[in-house]
Amino acid sequence: MKYFKILLIAAIAVLIHGCESNDTTTNSVYIPQPVNKKVLVEFFTNAGCNPCIAAHEYLDQINVNSGATINDTSVIILSYHTKYPYILDSLYRANITENQGRCDYYGVNTTPQGRLNGISMGQYSSSTWSAQINAEFNTTNYLNISLSNTYDEGLDTGTVTANIELVNALPSSNNVIHMVVIENNISYVTAPNGITSPDDVMRKMLTGKDGEAISIGQNNTVSKSYGLNNNWVPEECWIIVFVQNPDTKQVFGVERIKIVR
C-alpha cells in the first residue's frame, strides 16, 4: 500500500508539472525576411488629427523593428505635416511651401494618408498597409542607392552624396531625385492629438518640393550641400534620398543616412 501511495504521488507530480509546462509562454524573436529592395512610405498627418494616432503607432512599430512587416528595416518613412484639419499645426507651418507642395502633388486633402513608393495606400488599416508593403518588397528593384555624408558640427553644415546603381531598366527616362532632411523625436507638447514626439518629420527638401531632374545611367553620383536649422537636433536628423517619376509618381529607389553617426 505504501508503495502504491508513492507511485500515486509521483504520477500526480508529473501531471501537475506537465500542465505548468503547457501554460508557459515562449517569447518569439522577430527575424526579418530577405526582400528585393527598400521601400518608401510617405505619410501625411496633422497634429489635430485623431484618426492619425493609430497610424503613427503603426509606423512607430516599424521604426523599432517589431515585425509589423516581413522586413521593417527596409521600410523608410517620410512624414509630411498638413493643414488638415488643424491649420495651426506648427510642423506644417514650419515649412508650408514644401509640406503643401507634396500634398498638392499627391492630391492630399485629408489625413491620415500614405503613399507607398508613390502609390496611394488607401484608408489606414495596419493589416492592409502591412500587406501592401510586403507585396511591394517583392516587386522589381530598379535602383540601388548608397549614401555618404560629411557633417561639420561646429557650422551645422554638410554634404550628402548619393551613388545610384541601375539594377533594372527604368520604365521612363523622365525622373527626379529628392534629397530630404527629416528629424525624429521632435518635442511638440501642445499637439492637440497628443502625439508629442513625432518621428520622420520632413524638415527641408534640399532639392525642392519638385525634386531635381536626373538622367539615370549605369552608375550615377549626386552631391548636395546643406545646412541645419538651429532649432533642429542634429543627432535626431537623417537624410532620405529617393528617385521618382514625376508623372506616374512611381518611386524607383530609396535610401537614408543619419547625419551624426
- In percent, the amount of the chain with pLDDT more than 90 equals 87
Contacts 24+ apart (CB under 8 A), 170-173: 170/142, 170/143, 170/216, 170/245, 170/252, 171/245, 171/248, 171/250, 172/245, 172/247, 172/248, 173/215, 173/216
Residue 163: inside a domain: yes
- Structural domain of residue 200, as residue ranges? 39-258
pLDDT band (50, 70, 90) for residue 30 = confident
Residue 140: inside a domain: yes
Residue 62: inside a domain: yes
CATH code: domain of residue 216: 2.60.40.10
Task: State how far the Cα of 118 lies from the Cα of 76, in Å rounded to an integer.
Answer: 13
Residue 21: inside a domain: no
pTM here is 0.89
**Which amino acid is it at 232?**
W
**Those residues with Cβ within 8 angstroms of residue 102's Cβ, 6 or more apart along the chain or in another chain:** 42, 44, 80, 108, 202, 209
pLDDT band (50, 70, 90) for residue 194 = very high
What average pLDDT does the segment 60-69 reach? 98
Given a cut of 50, whether residue 18 has pLDDT beyond it is no
Spatial contact of 153 and 178, defined as CB atoms under 8 Å apart: no
Supply the pLDDT for residue 87: 98
Residue 94: inside a domain: yes
Residue 29: inside a domain: no
Mean pLDDT of the chain: 92
When mean pLDDT is compared across 8-22, 161-175, 187-201, the lowest value belongs to 8-22
Sign of CA dihedral 69, 182, 175, 110: positive
For the beta carbon of residue 97, count every other beta carbon within 10 angstroms.
9
Helix H segments across 124-242? 126-137
Sign of CA dihedral 149, 155, 156, 157: negative
Residue 153: inside a domain: yes
Residue 2: inside a domain: no
**Which amino acid is it at 36?**
N
Residue among 104, 110, 114, 171 at smallest CA distance from 143:
171
pLDDT tens profile 85-108: 999 999 999 999 999 999 999 999
pLDDT tens profile 107-161: 999 999 999 999 999 999 999 999 999 999 999 999 999 999 999 999 999 999 9
Tally the domains of the chain: 1
* Secondary structure E strands in the chain: 39-45, 75-81, 113-116, 119-120, 143-152, 157-166, 175-183, 201-205, 212-214, 219-227, 237-244, 251-258
CA 62 to the chain's CA centroid: 7
Beta strand 75-81 with 39-45 is parallel
